[in-house]
Amino acid sequence: MRPEHDFYIADTSLVVYFQLYEITPYYLGFPYFPIPILDVADIIKPNSPLDTMITFT
């Protein structure tokens, strides 16, 4: 995994994804891995966007 990896925030998950051909063939599309925000709550920095989301859930 690169130090600056591709990700986005969706609903209550942090989604890490890979570019085409990075780890799978083209026909499989973009591989992605949703991580529930509550599973990583203990390592989230205070006042970050994810921290804000936890306070609303």
Hey, what are 42's tokens?
A: 């203990």
- Check: pTM over 0.75? Answer yes or no: no
The per-residue pLDDT for range 1-55, each reduced to its tens digit, is 567 889 898 888 899 999 998 889 999 989 999 999 889 888 988 888 888 877 6
Q: Is residue 11 part of a domain?
A: yes
Q: Is residue 2 part of a domain?
A: no
Q: What is the DSSP string of 1-49?
A: --SS--EEEETTEEEEE--TTTSS-GGG---EEEEEGGGGGGGPPTTSH
Q: Is residue 1 part of a domain?
A: no
Domain coverage including residue 49: 7-56
Cβ pair 52, 44 in contact under 8 A:
no
The number of domains in the chain is 1
Q: Is residue 22 part of a domain?
A: yes
Q: Is residue 35 part of a domain?
A: yes
Q: Is residue 49 part of a domain?
A: yes
Q: Is residue 17 part of a domain?
A: yes
The per-residue pLDDT for range 23-33, each reduced to its tens digit, is 899 999 899 99
